[in-house]
């Protein structure tokens, strides 16, 4: 029987690309807009493979029901919506596309940082409401001579540092796995997290959401942070305790924040929405038209490799890595 491949990826407005790439397997490729466990189980019950975005809930409950499933392909980097342990226990390969969108994310991070430093959205709103007053959002400070602290030093952080060259910003970095020499290659000084909190004027978050990074920025963090700091988060919303961030902004500990990600997306009743000092974008740091095409193509090619009996290029779980 030909394999059934379910595309649960909101980026795929049609599935012609996936059908073309899997034509050699004579695969039955279907699309679902499921966003709940119940809907996903119903639409993918007899699936051999599933291609997902960051919103399809690949939980243990779902995986236990999909007993024909061989591979989950994440059309992106993060796999926090996939229970990788449950997939491994069920003999399901998990793969992702880790190296496509980091340039876009670095660019978006820089855009949010600059918008916060210069308070561009606030001035834009004032001009539109009839005010033409350079003093309205005082104080503004120069970029030169300030210190950026990058939390995590993977591909996105490295791309960000490259984009900052020539701006006069000093960069320090905290990463428990990257060596001091790796950071030094990019002109970045490796520091502890506490040292970063004490020294950084700007914070850029680039770690995955794990048990150890959830609420890394919490009330105790904001008590130790350099007053007046700016935070930009294009990683995952759960890394920042949003109630603690609200209090830190409300009391002036944090001057501005640029958030592309939130703990709940879309947000419901988040107190941060009431603050002018927070610039939001709707989880678009990864996005460009070129990236959509590449993510869909690469994820589908990984499905093709696994279903053809070959090793994938980007395995996530040990089941695949040891095959």
Which residue among 158, 283, 296, 298 is the active-site one? Answer: 283
Q: Which residues contact 304 (CB under 8 A, 6 or more apart)?
A: 21, 22, 24, 25
236 is catalytic: yes
283 is catalytic: yes
Looking at residue 250, what is its pLDDT? 97
Tokens in use for 96?
Answer: 């992702």
Domain boundaries, the chain: 4-100+288-321, 102-280
Looking at residue 113, what is its pLDDT? 98
Burial class for 167, CB neighbours closer than 10 Å (0-12, 13-18, 19+): middle
Contact present, 263 and 283 (Cβ < 8 Å):
no
Whole-angstrom distance, CA of residue 255 vs CA of residue 252: 6
Whole-angstrom distance, CA of residue 187 vs CA of residue 184: 5
Which residue among 158, 236, 296, 298 is the active-site one? Answer: 236
38 is catalytic: no
Whole-angstrom distance, CA of residue 131 vs CA of residue 125: 9
Looking at residue 318, what is its pLDDT? 79
Contact present, 81 and 37 (Cβ < 8 Å):
no
Which residue among 37, 182, 243, 265 is the active-site one? Answer: 265
| Residue ranges of the chain whose pLDDT lies below 50 | 320-323
Helix axes 155-163, 102-118, angle to 10 degrees: 50
Each residue of 298-311: b (16+ CB within 10 Å) or e?
Answer: bbbbbbbbbbeeee
Looking at residue 321, what is its pLDDT? 45
Looking at residue 322, what is its pLDDT? 44
Looking at residue 13, what is its pLDDT? 86
CATH superfamily of 102-280: NAD(P)-binding Rossmann-like Domain (3.40.50.720)
Asked if domains 4-100+288-321 and 102-280 share a fold, the reply is yes
Fold of 4-100+288-321: Rossmann fold (3.40.50)
């Amino acid at each position: 029987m030909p394999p059934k491949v379910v595309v649960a990826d909101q980026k795929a407005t049609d599935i012609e690309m996936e059908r073309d790439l899997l034509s050699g397997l004579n695969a039955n490729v279907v699309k679902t807009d499921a966003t709940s466990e119940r809907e996903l189980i119903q639409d993918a019950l007899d699936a051999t493979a599933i291609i997902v975005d960051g919103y399809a809930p690949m939980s243990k409950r779902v995986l236990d029901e999909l007993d024909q499933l061989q591979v989950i392909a994440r059309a992106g980097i993060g796999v926090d919506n996939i229970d990788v342990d449950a997939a491994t226990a069920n003999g399901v390969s998990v793969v992702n596309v880790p190296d496509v969108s980091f340039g876009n994310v670095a660019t978006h991070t820089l855009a949010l940082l600059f918008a916060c430093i210069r308070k561009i959205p606030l001035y834009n709103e004032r001009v539109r409401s009839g005010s033409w007053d350079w003093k309205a959002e005082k104080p503004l400070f120069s970029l030169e001579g300030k210190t950026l602290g990058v939390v995590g030093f993977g591909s996105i952080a490295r791309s960000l540092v490259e984009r900052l060259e020539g701006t006069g910003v000093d960069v320090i970095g905290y990463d428990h796995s990257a060596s001091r020499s790796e950071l030094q290659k990019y002109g970045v000084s490796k520091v502890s997290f506490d040292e970063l909190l004490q020294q950084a004027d700007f914070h850029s978050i680039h770690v995955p959401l794990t048990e150890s990074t959830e609420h890394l920025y919490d009330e105790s963090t904001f008590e130790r942070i350099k007053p007046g700091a700016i935070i930009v988060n294009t990683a995952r919303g759960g890394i920042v305790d949003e109630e603690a961030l609200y209090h830190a902004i409300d009391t002036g500990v944090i001057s501005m924040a640029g958030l592309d990600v939130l703990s709940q997306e879309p947000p419901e009743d988040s107190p941060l929405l009431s603050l002018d000092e927070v610039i939001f974008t709707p989880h678009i740091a990864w996005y460009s038209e070129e990236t959509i095409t590449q993510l869909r193509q690469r994820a589908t090619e990984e499905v093709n490799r696994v279903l053809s009996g070959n090793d994938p290029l980007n395995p996530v779980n040990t089941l695949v890595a040891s095959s």
